[in-house]
Chains A and B, each alone.
Chain A
Amino acid sequence: MHGCGGVGLSAVMIAAACGAQVVAVDIAPGALELARRCGATVCLDARALAGPGAVAAAVRDATDGGAHLSLDTLGSHATCAASIESLRRRGRHVQVGLLPAAQGRPALPMDLVIAYELELRGSHGMAAHAYPELLRLVTAGVLRPAELVTRTIDLAEVPDALAAMDGPAPGGMCLIRPA
């Protein structure tokens, strides 16, 4: 899991609940600690690694040759490339974090995609009819999303919180209660 914000931590929790061995990557110690609590078995601090290639190599080392499935839940050229290069042969990359065209399109390692027969997918969300299955896991206590909420704010606090989203994150999800 490249990026352990709200989506990344949720995906770590779901993957671990499904029996996956999860490697979590982030640059914030708080996010990595939350990922560990969500069930990640290996947590990598990307700040200690020299770029996407080194991150990918660390993931391949931790997974005995590469991950079967890797997600970029942040959305950056670096995390996208690291995620794809983390994969083993015939592995699957899922792009969840946004990569707006306005910020320039990333150069992807399509040589690896061919040579390893990798699969690249986007994720644009989940249809309403698929919610019952997911929410059943929540009500059963298998998934515990409330544990991911580390901050609750009101509307007046949103402008500052929104502006801070491009900086270092404290870890966990921020919930807004308008009333």
Chain B
Amino acid sequence: MRAVIFDEFGVRPEVRDVPDPVPPPGGAVIRVEATGLCRSDWHGWQGHDPDIRLPHVPGHEYAGVVTAVGAGVPGWRPGDRVTVPFVCACGQCPACLAGDQQVCERQTQPGFTHWGSFAEYVAVRNADTSTWSGSPTSWATRLRRPSAAGSPRRSGRWSARGESPRASGWRCTAAAAWDCPR
């Protein structure tokens, strides 16, 4: 695939062919339809993020279409239109169980902890708990568990609404692609 890649921090990136990503267990590969340029990408390129290993492909704001899923991903299949928060969450740590996946204790971040979305394809970890709309069953179960403080937090919304996660996912992620002219 074509990707924007840099070999040294602060040295101009290149566009070149790199191996296509393969879905990790529990993860997915997404064909990137749109990805945003953010100053966080600039920080990463400048070497301000200790998680980044070289060479590196930046990019962490994106929407696209699932092209492959790894083992253990019941919530997604190729063809699903998705978007992903920049934090991919484990779904099992105390922060995730409290509904705060954006501060997951075992998070991964495409574009920082591994290669990101300035490419034709991007791999995401923990697709069921990170990719909107994830696996409604596992989320509903996990998010309804009481937090450490003993108070229920944020029940799983899809099952509560009785809405099809797949249908709502398509509609909303289409919007997340920023409704831009193709």
8 Å CB contact of B178 from A127, A129, A149: A149
Asked if A158 contacts B120 (CB within 8 A), the reply is no
CA distance A176 to B117 in the complex (A): 10
Asked if A128 contacts B118 (CB within 8 A), the reply is no
Asked if B2 contacts A178 (CB within 8 A), the reply is yes
- Among A28-36, A45-53, A162-170, which stretch is in contact with chain B? A162-170
Asked if B134 contacts A152 (CB within 8 A), the reply is no
Size bracket of the A interface: 35 or more
Q: Chain B's nearest CB lies how many Å from the CB of A36?
A: 21
**23 pairs from A and B in contact (CB 8 Å cutoff):** A98-B40, A98-B43, A98-B48, A128-B89, A128-B131, A128-B132, A128-B133, A128-B134, A129-B101, A131-B132, A131-B133, A139-B171, A145-B179, A155-B118, A158-B37, A161-B37, A166-B39, A166-B42, A174-B37, A175-B35, A175-B36, A176-B37, A178-B33
A120 interface residue per 8 A CB criterion: no
Asked if A128 contacts B15 (CB within 8 A), the reply is no
Asked if B102 contacts A125 (CB within 8 A), the reply is yes
Name A's interface SS.
helix
Are A178 and B36 CB-contacts (below 8 A) given A131-B133, A135-B172, A165-B41?
A: no
CA distance A124 to B60 in the complex (A): 13
Name B's interface SS.
mixed
B139 interface residue per 8 A CB criterion: yes
B105 interface residue per 8 A CB criterion: no
Among B36, B37, B40, B42, which residue has the most Cβ atoms of chain A within 10 A? B37
A132 interface residue per 8 A CB criterion: yes
A159 interface residue per 8 A CB criterion: yes
A102 interface residue per 8 A CB criterion: yes
B4 interface residue per 8 A CB criterion: yes
8 Å CB contact of B101 from A127, A135, A173: A127
Beyond the given A155-B119, A178-B117, could you list 19 further A-B residue pairs with CB under 8 A, ordered by the A residue number?
A98-B48, A102-B48, A124-B87, A125-B87, A127-B100, A128-B131, A129-B143, A131-B132, A135-B176, A155-B15, A158-B4, A159-B15, A162-B37, A163-B12, A166-B42, A175-B180, A176-B35, A176-B118, A178-B33
